[in-house]
Amino acid sequence: MGPAEPALASALIHNGDGEYLLHLRDDIPGIREPGCWSLLGGAREPQDRSLLDTVRREVREEAGLDLPDLEPFAVADTDGDSSSVRVFAGRWDGDPARLPLTEGVMLCWFRPDDMTRLRMLPTTRDLVRRHAVGRTTASTGSTRPGIGAVPHIVGVHLYLENRAGRVLLGLRHHDAAFAPETWHLLAVH
């Protein structure tokens, strides 16, 4: 028996400037990700024929957006429980201040590198980074950062081993963009 079908669906919405649309959720008890920046989306309801129907309905209900060209991107675990979420990606180049937001506090565009300062779940940050790295310049033909492309970041890792064969590792901070709360080689980018 394979993994269960996710009961949640989210929209990873990006624009032509390499930014991602995030939703600041209400900070109230009993909701998912209270007070965090998150993706638009929600739970599947009985009238939804598929998770694609779910995400389109949720985006329409929460922000008045109609996104017909959403593509499956990933299935991710949610932080804190055993459920998973189907993430769909789509492009929209509008002004979030003009949307009729019905849930949460606000919608705003952010570049992936700016997200390290935001209160958000590590899984959401990781999804955005994975999508940003995977974007190509084929749609615009441009190689300039921010115009349909995200620049590559070069990482350097330091491998130190003593004579006894022990390797030096560091425990990464819980808010680290890469491999949070794990023991890892010393690294910079």
Tens of pLDDT along the chain (189 residues) come to: 555 678 899 999 999 999 999 999 888 887 888 889 999 999 999 999 999 999 999 999 999 999 989 999 999 876 655 678 999 999 999 999 999 999 889 999 999 999 999 999 999 999 999 999 987 433 444 434 444 444 555 667 777 888 988 888 888 777 666 667 777 777 776
Is 159 part of a structural domain of the chain?
yes
Its domain, for residue 30, covers 8-134
Structure tokens at 60: 């329409």
**C-alpha dihedral sign at 34, 14, 109, 96:** negative
Same domain, 183 and 125: no
Number of folded domains in the chain? 2
What pTM does this model have? 0.69
Same domain, 45 and 125: yes
Burial class (CB in 10 A: 0-12, 13-18, 19+), 99: middle
Residue 55 parent element (H or E): helix 51-63
pLDDT value of residue 166: 87
pLDDT value of residue 154: 62
Same domain, 129 and 162: no
Of the candidates 84, 117, 104, 128, the residue with the CA atom closest to the CA atom of residue 31: 104
